[in-house]
Amino acid sequence: MTQPARIEAEGTPEQRMQLIFALRSHGVTDPRVLDAFEKTPRAAFLDRSFKDRAWEDLPLPIACGQTISQPSVVGQMTQALAVTSRCKVLEIGAGSGYQAAILARLARRVYSLERHRPLARQAREVVERRLGLANVSIMTADGALGLPDQAPFDRILLTAAAEDVPSLLLSQLREGGIMVLPVGQSDEMQQLLRIEKTPEGLVYSELSPVRFVPLLEGVAEDMDN
User: What is the DSSP secondary-structure string of 146-213?
Assistant: --GGG--EEEEEESSBBSS--HHHHTTEEEEEEEEEEE-SSTTS-EEEEEEEETTEEEEEEEEE---P
Three-state secondary-structure class, residue 79: helix
Q: What are phi and psi of 50, to 5 degrees?
A: -115, 0
Give the CA dihedral 209, 211, 217, 218, nearest 10 degrees: -140
CA–CA distance from 221 to each of 115, 128, 144 (Å)? 9, 24, 16
Q: How does strand 88-92 pair with strand 153-158?
A: parallel
- DSSP letter, residue 171: T
* Residue type for position 15: Q
The catalytically annotated residue of 49, 69, 112, 186 is: 69
For residue 125, how far is the Cα from the chain centroid?
Answer: 16
Contacts of 211 (CB under 8 A, 6+ apart): 187, 188, 190
69 catalytically annotated: yes
Residue positions annotated with a catalytic role: 69
